[in-house]
Amino acid sequence: MSSSAQIGVTGLAVMGRNLARNFARNGYPVALHNRTVERTRTLVEEFGHEGDFVPAETAKEFVEALERPRRLVIMVKAGDPTDAVIQEFAPLLERGDMIIDGGNAHFADTRRRERELREQGIHFVGAGISGGEEGALHGPSIMPGGSPESYESLGPMLEKIAAKAADGTPCVSHVGPDGAGHFVKMVHNGIEYADMQLIGEAYQLLRDVAGYSPAQIAEIFRTWNTGRLDSYLIEITAEVLSHVDAATGRPFVDIVQDRAEQKGTGRWTVQIALDLGVPVSGIAEAVFARSLSGHIDLRDASRGLAGPKAAPLGEAEAAAFADRVEQALYASKIVSYTQGFHEIAAGSAEYGWDIDLGAVSSLWRGGCIIRAAFLDRIRAAYDARRDLPSLLSDDTFAQEIAAAQDDWREVLIAAVRQGVPTPGFAAALAYYDALRAERLPAALTQGQRDYFGAHTYRRTDREGSFHTLWGGDRSEVSA
Measured torsion, CA atoms of residues 432, 437, 442, 444, in degrees rounded to the nearest 10: -140
Tell me phi and psi for residue 4, to 5 degrees: -110, -15
Catalytic, 185? Answer: yes
CA nearest 432: which of 462, 455, 412, 458? 412
Alpha-carbon torsion 400, 405, 410, 415, what sign? positive
Residue-level pLDDT at 444: 97
Contacts of 160 (CB under 8 A, 6+ apart): 26, 27, 28, 170
Residue-level pLDDT at 3: 67
- The span from the CA of 419 to the CA of 5, in Å, is 60
Residue-level pLDDT at 2: 54
Residue-level pLDDT at 1: 46
CA nearest 375: which of 344, 404, 341? 341
Q: CA of 61: how far to CAs of 19, 29, 84, 160, in Å?
A: 20, 15, 18, 27
Residues 258, 252 contacting (CB under 8 angstroms): no
Tell me phi and psi for residue 331, to 5 degrees: -65, -45
The residue from 114, 192, 201, 285 that is catalytic is 192
- The span from the CA of 150 to the CA of 157, in Å, is 12
Contacts of 146 (CB under 8 A, 6+ apart): 98, 114, 123, 124, 125, 126, 127, 174, 177, 178, 181
- The span from the CA of 467 to the CA of 475, in Å, is 9
Give the three-class secondary structure for 313: coil
Q: Angle formed by the axes of helices 180-208 and 281-293, to 10°?
A: 60
Give the three-class secondary structure for 413: helix
pLDDT tens-place values along the chain, 479 residues long: 456 899 999 999 999 999 999 999 999 999 999 999 999 999 999 999 999 999 999 999 999 999 999 999 999 999 999 999 999 999 999 999 999 999 999 999 999 999 999 999 999 999 999 999 999 999 999 999 999 999 999 999 999 999 999 999 999 999 999 999 999 999 999 999 999 999 999 999 999 999 999 999 999 999 999 999 999 999 999 999 999 999 999 999 999 999 888 878 899 999 999 999 999 999 999 999 999 999 999 999 999 999 998 888 899 999 999 999 999 999 999 999 999 999 999 999 999 999 999 999 999 999 999 999 999 999 999 999 988 999 999 999 999 999 999 999 999 999 999 999 999 999 999 999 999 999 999 999 999 999 999 999 999 999 999 999 998 788 888 87
| pLDDT per residue as tens digits for the range 21-65 | 999 999 999 999 999 999 999 999 999 999 999 999 999 999 999
Tell me phi and psi for residue 141, to 5 degrees: -85, 130
H-helix or E-strand spanning residue 332:
helix 315-351
The residue from 185, 201, 326, 400 that is catalytic is 185
| Beta-strand runs (E) in 25-152 | 30-33, 53-55, 71-74, 98-101, 123-130, 141-144
b/e map of 101-120 (b: 16 or more CB within 10 Å)?
Answer: bbbbbbbebbbebbeebeee
Is beta strand 465-468 parallel, antiparallel or unpaired with respect to 457-458?
Answer: antiparallel
